[in-house]
């Protein structure tokens, strides 16, 4: 059996319940949101440490703000990270499961790194919560959190690269004496340009977050305009230079890609370059008053990251396509019921989340001590939809259980 037959034979024999292109789009979309959150955490921790060292009073206050944000955004990043991982497991299952088997110990350690980063980020925030906002910071837990996030990034990078190189699997699984390596403790497939690209992008995204920070808190009278101007100015500079570094390492990564894949001439890759150029030019044009351009900058960032994420997916398709593997050739067993339930849950979830997000948004922009008024209908609708969703899902579960004979 050749490698192409082997890979296609490893597909789930039950097939996929809906069209693979839908899973692919959702995978790219959720990965975009996930990686933006991860970038803010990594970049925020790094900038916090730097500002605590060199930033002066305003820098130390900013470090505290980023410390608090890292705890919340890391929680969101973890939740959002589940979605693209599940979609990868659905349409690229032979590759993902193989890499996780070859480096099984590291796949498990990834969870350790993430948990460590999560609790260390809280330690950093709580350890500096009390006292003067402009005072010195305790940085031990910041180092731990940043180091754990770096290890998590390196681990997931390597697992992803291993999955893209099935022609190397037999070399990685067999030692010089012909014995099968089942320990799962080895690392393979490192691509330095690709790894650095994602780390450099963290500064670009965090810089944009800092611009949004200055814009968001601008209505509050208890937030000093000079401090917010400091954050916005530093943010736009970090975003600009971070994007330039991300672009440079991105071309380094592209240079590591085999020429036979023809990736550099792919229209999606060229579109991602164009999006990055537009984003850089807009950042450069926003130097004088970055907070006033916060929303357009954020929109451009999200578009750029989405297009780049799709270019990344195109590259993955080219890697696996070299072995006659196509997600569009996956066996299709349409399941309209489960698919409709999935999308209905997704839309309903967005509507329900609107209420707490609206509360958080308005509360954060209001001076402490003042009452924030939210329309009662918004909260009532969220509660009704949530209760209705539980009734429908529980009811379907009971009906199906009786139908299949799992309940008497």
DSSP H stretches of helix in 218-293: 225-256, 267-285
pLDDT tier for residue 368 given thresholds of 50, 70 and 90: confident
More confident residue, 375 or 142: 142
Q: Quick one: average pLDDT of 346-371?
A: 85
CA 53 and chain centroid, separation: 28
Check pLDDT > 90 for residue 217. yes
Up-side HSE of residue 133: CA atoms within 13 Å toward CB? 10
Burial 60-78 (b: 16+ CB within 10 A, else e): bbbbbbbbbbbbebbebbb
- What is the rounded average pLDDT of the residues 309-324? 95
Task: Note the pLDDT of residue 402.
Answer: 84
C-beta separation of 10 from 93 below 8 A: yes
Written as six digits, the tokens of 332 are 């299709």
Overall average pLDDT of the 9-25 stretch: 92
Query: Which is nearest to 100 in space by CA: 90, 114, 86, 110?
Result: 110
Residues in the chain: 408
Which residues contact residue 131 at a Cβ distance below 8 angstroms, ignoring those fewer than 6 apart?
none
Domain range annotation of the chain? 3-334, 336-408
Cβ 39 vs Cβ 201: under 8 Å: yes
| pLDDT class of 195 with cuts at 50, 70, 90 | very high
| pLDDT recorded at residue 55 | 82
Residues 6+ apart with CB under 8 A from 86: none
Half-sphere exposure of 240 (CA within 13 A, CB side): 14
Instruction: Using the CB atoms, write b or e for 196-213: b if 16+ within 10 Å.
Output: bbbbbbbbbbbbbbbbbb
Q: What was the pLDDT predicted at 407?
A: 67
Residue 112: per-residue pLDDT: 96
The first and second tokens of residue 92, run together, are 């690229």
Q: To the nearest whole number, what is the mean pLDDT of the chain?
A: 91
Res 408: pLDDT: 66
Residues 53-69 have pLDDT tens digits of 988 899 999 999 999 99
Region class of 170: left (phi > 0), else alpha (psi between -120 and 50), else beta: alpha
**1 pLDDT exceeds 60?**
no
What pTM value is reported for the model? 0.93
Chain mean position to CA 267:
24
Q: What is the mean pLDDT of residues 18-23?
A: 94
In the numeric block, the tokens 């020429």 are attached to 259
Cα 217–Cα 365–Cα 355 angle in degrees, nearest 5? 135
Range scoring the smallest mean pLDDT among 1-15, 200-214, 237-251: 1-15
Distance between CA atoms of residues 301 and 266, nearest Å: 21
Residue 2: which pLDDT band, with cuts at 50, 70 and 90?
confident
Summarize pLDDT for 97-127 with one digit per residue, the tens.
999 988 999 999 999 999 999 999 999 999 9
- CA angle centred on 91, ends 83 and 34, rounded to 5°: 25
Q: What is the mean pLDDT of residues 25-44?
A: 96
The answer to whether 60 and 231 have CB atoms below 8 angstroms apart is no
Mean pLDDT over 320-338 rounds to 92
Q: Average pLDDT in the 190-211 region?
A: 95
């Amino acid at each position: 059996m050749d490698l192409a037959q082997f890979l296609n034979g490893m597909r789930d024999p039950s097939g996929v319940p809906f069209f693979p292109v839908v899973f692919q789009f959702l995978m790219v979309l959720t990965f975009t949101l996930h990686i933006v959150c991860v970038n803010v955490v990594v970049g925020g921790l790094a900038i916090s440490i730097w500002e605590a060292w060199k930033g002066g009073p305003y820098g130390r206050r900013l470090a505290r703000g980023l410390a608090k944000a890292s705890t919340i955004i890391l929680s969101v990043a973890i939740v959002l990270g589940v979605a693209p991982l599940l979609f990868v497991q659905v349409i690229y299952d032979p590759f993902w499961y193989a890499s996780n088997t070859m480096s099984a110990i590291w796949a498990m350690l990834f969870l350790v790194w993430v948990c460590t980063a999560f609790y260390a980020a809280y330690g950093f925030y709580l350890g500096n919560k009390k006292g003067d906002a402009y005072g010195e910071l305790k940085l031990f837990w910041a180092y731990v959190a940043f180091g754990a996030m770096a290890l998590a990034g390196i681990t997931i990078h390597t697992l992803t690269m291993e999955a893209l190189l099935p022609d190397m699997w037999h070399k990685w699984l067999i030692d010089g004496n012909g014995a099968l390596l089942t320990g799962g403790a080895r690392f393979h497939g490192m691509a330095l340009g690709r790894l650095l690209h994602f780390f450099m992008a963290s500064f670009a995204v965090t810089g944009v977050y800092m611009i949004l920070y200055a814009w968001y808190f601008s209505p509050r009278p208890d937030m000093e305009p000079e401090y917010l101007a400091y954050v916005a100015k530093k943010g736009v500079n970090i975003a600009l230079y971070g994007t330039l570094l991300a672009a440079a390492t991105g071309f380094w990564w592209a240079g590591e890609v085999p020429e036979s894949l023809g990736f550099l001439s792919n229209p999606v890759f060229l579109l991602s370059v164009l999006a990055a150029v537009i984003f850089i030019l807009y950042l450069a044009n926003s130097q004088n008053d970055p907070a006033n351009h916060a929303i357009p900058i954020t929109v451009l960032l999200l578009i750029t990251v989405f297009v780049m994420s799709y270019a990344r997916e195109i590259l993955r398709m080219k890697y696996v396509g070299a072995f006659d593997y196509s997600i569009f050739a996956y066996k299709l067993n349409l399941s309209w019921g489960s698919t409709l339930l999935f999308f209905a849950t997704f839309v309903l979830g967005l509507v329900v989340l609107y209420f707490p997000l609206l509360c958080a948004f308005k509360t954060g922009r209001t001076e402490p001590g003042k009452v924030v008024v939210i329309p009662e209908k918004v909260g009532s609708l969220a509660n009704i939809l949530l209760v209705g969703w539980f009734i429908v899902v529980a009811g379907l579960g009971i009906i199906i259980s009786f139908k299949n004979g799992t309940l008497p």
